[in-house]
Amino acid sequence: MINAAIVGLGWWGQTLVESVANSSQKIRFSTAVSRSASQKAKDFSQFHKMNLVQNFDAVLADPNIDAVVLATPHSLHAKEVIEAAEAGKHVFCEKPFALSKAEAESAVSATQKAGVTLGLGYNRRLHPEMIKLRERIRSGDLGVILHCEANMTFPNALFLSNDAWRASKKETPCGGLTPMGVHAIDGMIDLCGEIDEVYCQSFKRAVEVDADDTTSMLFRMKEGMSGYLSTMTATGGGFSFQVFGSKGHIRLEGMTHIAGAPSEERRKKCFGNCYFKPVKGSLEHWEAEETDIVKAILEHFSDAVSGTQPFMIPVSEMIHGAAVTESVVKSAKSHQVEKVY
């Protein structure tokens, strides 16, 4: 049993705690870090029998804490990963891993030097439908892969206050890219390999806060296929992921993690309707398997800490994902195609 501290008690930090509370034999949260120590944070910590502290350093100095789980503002991730590693703590970082390739490389280097496990919150890799899609692609069921496409929408930005960290362009460059779009980019990297170049347009249409609400991206993979991703943060929630091949295409439909939705719904309703349209033959339809992907990835991380298996995402892909994020933001500013280095 891994004894962990949750760092950040916003709605997603609470979701992480709730996913394993009283149900996991592999990981438990005994401590929470909240800078504000609000009454809501105090009540949540008391309910889940966690010790509440306001200082990250207090957790790093606690010999009873095996690992830290970071659910903090995006710009803090790399710095906190490095601090945790230097304190000898295993570290699970929520996405995005970092906002630049250089930050990601520094964070990975620190964990490798310290000999601690690094986990990253791309939980969709563990969803049964993504696992089956990966297997079908690699077995040749879809033929030559032509294109990968995703659309991610949610209304969260409509309800943000101006002082919320998620309302800042510094923390959420290109609107829905960092809170949700990086999940789809990670899926494309997992299924289609590294991304070679990107083009992005991103702007604000409906929200009152500083962040963009409408973003679209074009990708060219190193293996030759194309990709597309759109994120919108000021409309109804939805998620689709499609892969097109010379023998047919698969479409997975579902929802994004919407703030305010029930915790169990956010964790288990990632995919719903699934379709396969072959070049020859009739349309296939099935309902996605239901699984708690948040609990699944935390337990997978705990297995990696215990040495049962390596963490599923190679550090090279963690770094590449951060490089793609950096290039997308650069393209939105330059209005030009940008290489991913």
pLDDT of residue 37: 81
- How many domains would you assign to the chain? 2
Q: What is the pTM (predicted TM-score) of this model?
A: 0.95
Residues 136 and 161 in one domain: yes
C-alpha distances out from residue 123 to 17, 93, 143, 227, 295, Å? 15, 11, 27, 21, 9
Residues 183 and 74 in one domain: no
Residue 173 near residue 329 (C-beta atoms within 8 A): yes
What is the domain-level CATH number for residue 24? 3.40.50.720
What is the domain-level CATH number for residue 257? 3.30.360.10
The answer as to whether 190 is a domain residue is yes
Residues 134 and 264 in one domain: yes
pLDDT of residue 259: 66
Q: Judge if the upstream peptide bond of residue 96 is cis by omega within 30 degrees of 0.
A: yes
Q: Which structural domain range is residue 289 located in?
A: 124-295+322-339
Residues 153 and 175 in one domain: yes
pLDDT of residue 141: 96
- The one-character DSSP state at 225 is -
The answer as to whether 309 is a domain residue is no
How far is Cα 285 from Cα 193, in angstroms, rounded to an integer? Answer: 27
Residues 268 and 154 in one domain: yes
Using the 3D structure, point to which of 94, 123, 152 is the last residue of a domain: 123
> Which of 79-84's residues contact partners 24+ apart within 8 Å by CB, and which partners?
80/7, 80/56, 81/107, 81/110, 81/111, 81/118, 82/106, 82/107, 82/110, 83/56, 84/60, 84/116
Residues 166 and 261 in one domain: yes
Residues 170 and 113 in one domain: no
Residue 312 identity (one-letter amino acid): M
Nearest to 5 by CA among 51, 36, 44: 51
Nearest to 191 by CA among 260, 122, 259, 256: 122
Using the 3D structure, point to which of 97, 123, 149 is the last residue of a domain: 123
The per-residue pLDDT string of the chain (341 residues; one tens digit each, 9 = 90 and over) reads 999 999 999 999 999 999 999 999 999 999 999 988 899 999 999 999 999 999 999 999 999 999 999 999 999 999 999 999 999 999 999 999 999 999 999 999 999 999 999 999 999 999 999 999 999 999 999 999 999 999 999 999 999 998 898 888 899 999 999 999 999 999 999 999 999 999 999 999 999 998 999 999 999 999 999 999 999 999 999 999 999 999 999 999 998 766 667 888 888 888 999 999 999 999 999 999 989 999 999 999 999 999 999 999 999 999 999 999 999 999 999 999 999 99
pLDDT of residue 219: 98
How many residues does the structure list for the chain? Answer: 341
Residues 143 and 166 in one domain: yes
Using the 3D structure, point to which of 95, 123, 151 is the last residue of a domain: 123
Residues 151 and 80 in one domain: no
Residue 111 near residue 117 (C-beta atoms within 8 A): yes
Question: For residue 22, is it left (φ>0), alpha (ψ between -120 and 50) or beta?
Answer: left
Dihedral (C-alpha) 198, 204, 207, 211: value to the nearest 10 degrees?
60
Residue 99 near residue 324 (C-beta atoms within 8 A): no
